[in-house]
């Protein structure tokens, strides 16, 4: 199995089924975890030098961060139901999430100094953007885009790709610190499928093919993108959701399309 494909583990006492760290991924910036909590289950955290975005993938929970009590938030039964709730937590502040019913929590982390304040990001703060045309259409929910003033390093986005469609396509990359043309960003993809027995495909590859992995992705898998192009395909009949976390030396998203496929988005003559 590819080292870029991370399967969920059996849940620990805190419901954690994924724990990607910079050390385990072999990079510098992005951390990512998923907790599946039954009613009353609790996940906690807060680490010096690491800012956090808590994304309620599904369910409801009571969330506190530092001295802020956000009460019960969430409510969507699955990530396929529309935009959800998230909480931004500056580096160094403790946070606590207690499930109200079953809850799926994603914990997105990246370097931070502790600037800013804990902030609730609700559905009205996210909205939905349609990207692409034809079978390249997908639906994007920007939780922490590079235009958001909340975060220091984190970029967080949800994407819904209909069955039979492509996403993160035409193939693009962001692995060079070469602004304004391209930014250097590590990235994780957390995949969910509806119905859950489905699968999708993701390829991660570089121009020289020194990295060239094509993975069969199942419900609950994480794909690591340390560098290179990273398109995704959803088979007919299965809707694909993924949660992206990105971070790098500069908090800006600038990508480079693979030249062989750039014609797909070139302006019409």
Q: Which domains does the chain have, with CATH numbers?
A: 5-265 (2.60.120.10)
Is the predicted pLDDT of residue 269 greater than 80, yes or no?
no
User: pTM to 2 decimals?
Assistant: 0.96
Per-residue pLDDT band at 127 (split at 50, 70, 90): confident
Digit-coded pLDDT (tens) for 182-205: 999 999 999 999 999 999 999 999
Q: What is the pLDDT of residues 12-61, one digit of tens each?
A: 889 999 999 999 999 999 999 999 999 999 999 999 999 999 999 999 99
Res 268 pLDDT > 90: no
**Residue carrying structure tokens 């019960």:** 72
pLDDT at 152: 96
Helices (H), 49-140: 123-126
Nearest CA-CA partner of 88 in 42, 150, 159, 22: 150
71/61 Cα distance (integer angstroms):
8
Cis peptide before 180, with omega less than 30 degrees from 0?
Answer: yes
Write the CB contacts of 72 (distance below 8 Å, at least 6 apart in sequence). 60, 61, 62, 100
- Name every residue whose Cβ is closer than 8 Å to that of residue 209 and which is 6 or more positions away in sequence: none
pLDDT of residue 137 exceeding 70: yes
pLDDT-derived band at 128, boundaries 50, 70, 90 = confident
In the three-class reduction of DSSP (H, G, I as helix; E, B as strand; rest coil), residue 157 is classed as strand
């Amino acid at each position: 199995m590819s080292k870029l494909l991370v399967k969920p583990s059996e849940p620990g006492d805190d419901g954690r089924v994924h724990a990607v760290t910079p050390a385990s991924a072999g990079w510098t910036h992005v951390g990512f975890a998923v907790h599946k909590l039954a009613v009353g289950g609790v996940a906690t955290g807060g680490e010096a030098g690491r800012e956090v975005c808590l994304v309620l993938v599904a369910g409801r929970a009571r969330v506190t961060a530092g001295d802020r009590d956000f009460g019960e938030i969430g409510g969507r039964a699955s990530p396929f139901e529309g935009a959800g709730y998230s909480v931004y937590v500056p580096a160094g502040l403790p946070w606590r999430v207690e499930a109200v019913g079953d809850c799926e929590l994603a914990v997105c982390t990246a370097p931070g100094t502790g600037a800013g304040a804990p902030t609730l990001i609700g559905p009205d703060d996210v909205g939905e953007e349609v990207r692409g045309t034809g079978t390249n259409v997908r639906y994007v929910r920007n939780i922490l885009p590079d235009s958001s003033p909340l975060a220091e390093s984190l970029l967080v986005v949800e994407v819904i790709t209909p069955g039979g469609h492509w996403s993160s396509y035409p193939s693009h990359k962001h692995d060079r610190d070469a602004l304004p043309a391209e930014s250097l960003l590590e990235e994780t993809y957390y995949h969910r499928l509806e119905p859950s027995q489905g699968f999708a495909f993701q390829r991660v590859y570089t121009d020289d093919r020194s990295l060239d992995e094509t993975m069969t992705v199942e419900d609950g898998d994480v794909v690591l993108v340390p560098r290179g192009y990273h398109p995704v395909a959803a088979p007919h009949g299965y809707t694909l959701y993924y949660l992206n976390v990105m971070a790098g030396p500069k908090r800006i998203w600038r990508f480079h399309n693979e030249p062989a496929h750039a014609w797909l988005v070139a302006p019409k003559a």
